Chains A and B, each alone.
Chain A
Amino acid sequence: MSVATAHDDHHDSHDHGPPKGWQRWVYSTNHKDIGTMYLFFALFMLFFGGAMAMYIRAELFMPGVQLANPDFYNNMVTDHALVMVFGMVMPAAAGMANWMIPLMIGAPDMALPRLNNLSFWLLPAAALMLILSILAPYLFPGSGGPVNTGWTLLPPLSIQNGIGMDFTIFAIHMLGISSILASINIVTTILNMRAPGMTMMKMPLFVWAWFFTALLLIAVMPVLAGAVTMLLFDRHFGTSFFDAAGGGDPILFQHLFWFFGHPEVYVLLLPSIGVLGLVIPTFARKPLFGYKALVYGMGVLAVLGMVVWAHHQYTIGMSLFATNYFMIGTILISIPVGLMLMNFIFTMWRGSMTFETPMLFGIAIILMFSFAGVTGVMLAVVPADMQYHDTMFVVAHFHYALIPGAVFGLYAGVFYWLPKWTGHMYDERLGKIFFWWTTISFNITFFPQHFSGLAGMPRRIVDYSIQYTEFNMISSIGGFLFGLSHLLFLYIIIQTIRGGKKAPDKPWEGSQIGTPGLEWTLPSPPPFHSFTQAPVVK
């Protein structure tokens, strides 16, 4: 494919650079600046959520309640999850979308730049609200204890909670508004802002992945908003949606939450699949295998993902028909996902591979996410899930899904694009050390949880009986090692931003193979305004 660009023109005198000072960031309408802010915010939240995880692992290091009271423990579990999911993975993926989608499809910016800024700045405000919810028991004594429900906020426990729950509810509202607005922007950008000749089926896989992600968010985020609104009404205005005494049902909330929640896990997964769709062909030096199948597979995944939510609630007592339906639907999801992963393996097949850090992460994702998927299918089997449900087995499943499936994909993306973003190559040796360190310590942390879970250890417990001690000790030690590895990650990023070998426009030999975007036609780093003149793809 050949591309006509005008990137030399970017150095023209009338093309003014970024505004100076804080206004550049706070008032920004520039997709790259906003993307950068998203990414830094996510990095900060990784450490915030990670610090809470470290507390969790420390508390679970051995039996007995050592560090704080049970409610505080469950407050940390709740906010660990909310921060990681809404504050870390989603913003990081949105940051990449902001940075890369306009570059890839040859757009001057996002379709609605001011809205873009609003989507970002709602996040710090929501984070502040969440922090208020953690501090509420201390700031407003007598207004109830910590939010101790877990990230699912299930009533009636969440009705018992104090003012902290209200802060959490409104934090979720703000997070929700933010992701809906961001999604509207992304869908519109993809549909309306493509350069001439950049047809939908020529778009890099990452753009497709975000297209489906954004559609999912537009469909399900409002459901979560509705659910927490009803919770608020039950708490304060006398309604009885979730109270049997008035004809309501606590389970209704679960249906709503998981109607949002299950698509949400694909929201977390898909951007990383998109990154994989770039990384694997690049380092296998060979076009993506089954591009169309991947695109349609993601579409099928998005649709199927919307209709299987109740596999999180097999124990609530549904009719035999409904349970069978949800079980079979859930198991069938292995088809599109299996197809996607197989296509990545076939992309490597008969390729010519080198193993830079993004590729290492790519390979690890295929392997470890398959494993998460397989435990997922085990969980999908209803009678067996009645044994696994709410044990550490589930916790192990979803950290395997979330960390390789989502977070490692983000790492791969960061290393893949750091040269483009900063104009510097990162230190490959440190990158590799970081890869091995995280991969090994990650497995030490979460693999044992399968065993403690099968043996019966419940989740969301501050204290456990001594039969689970060994597994938890291994897990905690792994957790601390995993946490520490992120200091190296931080170091590599800072080092690369501050200097290093100059990155060429096209830092990876294979990055133009197959279905590349237009990002490689721009210098590294790209000019402040990306494509003031639309490039033409032939």
Chain B
Amino acid sequence: MSHATHSDQDAYFIPEPSPWPIVAVASVFLTFLGLVFLINDMGLAGSLIMVTGFAILAYLFQGWFGAVIDESLTGKYNGKVDRSFRQGMFWFITSEAAFFITFFGCLYYLRNITLPWLGGEGQLASSNILWEGFQYSWPLLNLPDADTTKYVAAKEAMGAWGLPFLNTIILLTSGVTLTWAHWGLKKNNNKQLVRGLIMTIALGVLFFCVQSYEYWHAYQDLGLTLNAGVYGSTFYMLTGFHGLHVTIGTIMLIVIAVRSARHHFTEHNHFAFEAVAWYWHFVDVVWIALFIFVYWL
């Protein structure tokens, strides 16, 4: 029993010492440092540091994921390692869910508790004497402080059944195409896998474009900006972080598509594919909640 080596199927794979984590730390640190300088108008330094951070990040992904892919392809991972990866991804998505739930909670609180107070209802109803004449409404198109120059209320709310609805359909379809790709993988049909992924990516990109246009429209025509009081704040916080996740998801899908085209996955060994799929479905579900609570109700 003492002849177990690391590449044995029944031994758990412990990676050799690796430089990638510390590179990741450097990239996170520099990105944040640059960001602090940037938002405090500290000149060019901020942008430079941040760009360096991003460059390291790109290098990092290529290196770390490269190493993992290598290990995976050379058969170093046994079933237990695979389970660790899956469980790790599951808990990661759980924490992401908590992050989004935070913002939904804020939306609920501001809309159903705070604004009624400011408008003269509920526990802190007397607050209304500070904002005489303020009537609350949702979407919030008039601000408590009517004279402020710091915020400018939106002229019009974002309707649900135009672009947002289109985006809902796009994302839902992308969920379907991704599942179709998954079936392909399970049937060992590489063509279906790659096609499904490409369609999903295309839909992701399309979503991104529609969302960008929607933002442009909100700024240009509706006056719905980050400065538009809590309606604008919650709108952009929720849709913005979701959009960021779509972008990250799309990048991951592209990586997976390239790997699929190179026949990296088998019906038994495709953790990376599944992780990305879970992530994408998670982003999908968040969008449904977003569509209901941010746009529709």
Direct contact of A and B (CB under 8 A): yes
Interface residues of A (CB under 8 A from B): 6, 9, 12, 14, 19, 23-24, 26-30, 107-109, 111-115, 117-118, 121-122, 125, 128-129, 132, 140, 143, 163, 166-167, 170, 173-174, 177, 180, 183-185, 187-189, 191-193, 218-223, 225-227, 230, 232-233, 236-241, 243-249, 252, 255-256, 317-319, 529, 532-533
B74 at the interface (CB under 8 A from A): no
> Chain B 209-223 against A: per-residue CB contact (8 Å), 1 yes, 0 no?
000000000000000
Which of chain A's residues have a CB closer than 8 A to the CB of B105? 256
A29–B32 CB distance below 8 A:
no
Contact B80 A239 (CB under 8 A): no
**B135 → chain A, closest Cβ, in Å?**
12
CB < 8 Å neighbour of A246 from B5, B16, B230: B230
* Contact A249–B17 (Cβ < 8 Å): no
Does B297 make an interface contact (CB < 8 A)?
no
- Any chain A CB within 8 A of the CB of B62? no
Q: Please tell me if the beta carbons of B91 and A184 are within 8 angstroms of each other in the complex.
A: yes
A-B contacts besides A27-B22, A243-B150, A532-B11, 18 pairs, CB < 8 Å: A9-B1, A12-B2, A27-B19, A30-B17, A108-B11, A112-B84, A125-B28, A170-B32, A188-B91, A192-B83, A230-B106, A230-B233, A239-B233, A240-B230, A247-B231, A252-B109, A319-B123, A533-B1
Interface string of B197-239 (1 = CB under 8 A from A): 0000000000000000000000000000111111111101100
Closest B residue to A169 using CB positions: B36
- Is B237 touching A233 in the complex (CB atoms < 8 A)? yes
Q: How far is the CA of A244 from the CA of B150 in the complex (A)?
A: 12
Q: Does B9 contact A (CB under 8 A)?
A: no
* CB <8 Å contact, A163 and B229: no
**When A112-B88, A237-B226 are in contact, do A27 and B151 touch as well, CB less than 8 Å?**
no
Cβ-defined contact, A245 with B150, below 8 A: yes
Residues of B within 8 A of A180 (CB): 92, 95
Output the residue of A113, A140, A180, A247 with the most chain B CB within 10 A: A247
Q: CB distance A245 to B21 under 8 Å?
A: no
In the A-B complex, the 6 residue pairs with the smallest Cβ-Cβ separation, listed nearest first, are A245-B145, A226-B102, A27-B17, A239-B233, A222-B99, A118-B21
| 7 A–B contacts, CB within 8 A, in A order | A9-B2, A23-B17, A30-B14, A129-B32, A239-B232, A241-B237, A255-B109
Distance in angstroms between the alpha carbons of A223 and B64 in the assembled complex: 28
The CA-CA distance from A219 to B228 in the complex, in Å, is 31
Expressed in whole angstroms, the minimum distance between the Cβ of A246 and any Cβ of chain B is 4
Q: Is the CB of A118 within 8 A of B24?
A: yes
Identify the closest chain A residue to B106 (Cβ).
Answer: A252
- Of B114-122, B181-189, B254-262, B286-294, the stretch lying at the interface with chain A is B114-122
B277 sits at the interface (CB 8 A): no
A107 proximity list for chain B (CB < 8 A)? 12
Identity of the chain B residue whose Cβ is nearest the Cβ of A235 in the assembled complex: B39
Known: A223-B102, A239-B233. A184 touches B95 (CB 8 A): yes
Is the beta-carbon distance between A108 and B16 smaller than 8 angstroms? no
Q: Which residues of B1-34 are within 8 A (CB) of A?
A: 1-2, 4-5, 11-12, 14-22, 24-26, 28-29, 32-33
Are A163 and B36 touching (Cβ within 8 A)? yes
Query: How many angstroms from the CA of A317 to the CA of B26 in the assembled complex?
Result: 44
Pair A114/B18 contact, Cβ less than 8 Å: yes
Given known A-B contacts A184-B92, A246-B144, A247-B231, A256 and B4 have beta carbons under 8 A apart? no
Report how far A512 CA is from B83 CA in the complex, Å: 31
A26, A122, A166, A239, most chain B CB atoms within 10 A: A239
Chain A hits for B115, CB < 8 A: 247
Q: Which secondary structure dominates where chain B touches chain A?
A: helix
Say if the beta carbon of B193 comes within 8 Å of chain A. no
Please indicate the chain B residues that have their CB under 8 angstroms from the CB of A244 in the complex: 118, 127, 130-131, 144-145
- Nearest opposing residue in chain A for B109, CB measure: A252
CA distance A9 to B3 in the complex (A): 9
Docked pose: A191 CA to B122 CA in angstroms:
47
Contacts of A237 in B (CB 8 A): 226
Contacts of A114 in B (CB 8 A): 15, 18, 20-21, 64
A177/B28 contact (C-beta < 8 A), A114-B18, A222-B102 known: yes
The CA-CA distance from A111 to B14 in the complex, in Å, is 9
B176 at the binding interface (Cβ < 8 Å): no
Are B230 and A125 neighbours in the complex by a CB distance under 8 Å? Answer: no
List chain B residues, Cβ under 8 A from A6: 1-2
Give the CA-CA distance A342 to B18 in the complex, in Å: 46
In the complex, the answer to whether A166 meets B36 with C-beta atoms within 8 Å is yes
A140 to B42 CA separation, bound complex (whole angstroms): 9
Question: Per a CB cutoff under 8 Å, which of A122, A163, A191, A232 touches B25?
Answer: A122
> In the assembled complex, how far is the CB of residue A66 from the closest CB belonging to chain B, in whole angstroms?
32
Across the interface, which residues of A come within 8 angstroms of B233, CB to CB?
Answer: 230, 233, 239-241, 246, 248
Among B87-108, those with CB < 8 Å from A are: 87-88, 91-92, 94-96, 98-99, 101-103, 105-106
Binary contact track B136-174/A, C-beta < 8 Å → 1, others 0: 100010011100101100000000000000000000000
Instruction: From B14, B84, B109, B127, give the contact of A529 (CB < 8 A).
Output: B14
Check if B32 sits within 8 Å of A225, measured CB to CB: no
Which residues of chain B are near A189, meaning CB under 8 Å? 84
Query: What residues of B have a CB within 8 angstroms of the CB of A252 in the complex?
Result: 106, 109-110, 114
Instruction: Report the Cα distance A33→B237, complex, angstroms.
Output: 40
Known: A143-B40, A166-B40, A184-B92. A220 touches B98 (CB 8 A): yes
Q: Which residue of A lies closest to B111 (CB)?
A: A247
B272 at the interface (CB under 8 A from A): no
Q: Fill in one digit per residue for B72-90: 1 if any A CB lies within 8 Å of its CB, else 0.
A: 0000000010011101100
Chain A residues within an 8 Å CB radius of B136: 247
Known: A177-B28, A222-B98, A533-B4. A248 touches B110 (CB 8 A): yes
Judging by beta carbons under 8 Å apart, are B87 and A24 in contact?
no
Closest residue of B by beta carbon distance from A18: B17
**B58 an interface residue at 8 Å Cβ cutoff?**
no
Partner of A188 from B15, B84, B102 at Cβ < 8 Å: B84
Q: Is B276 an interface residue (CB 8 A)?
A: no
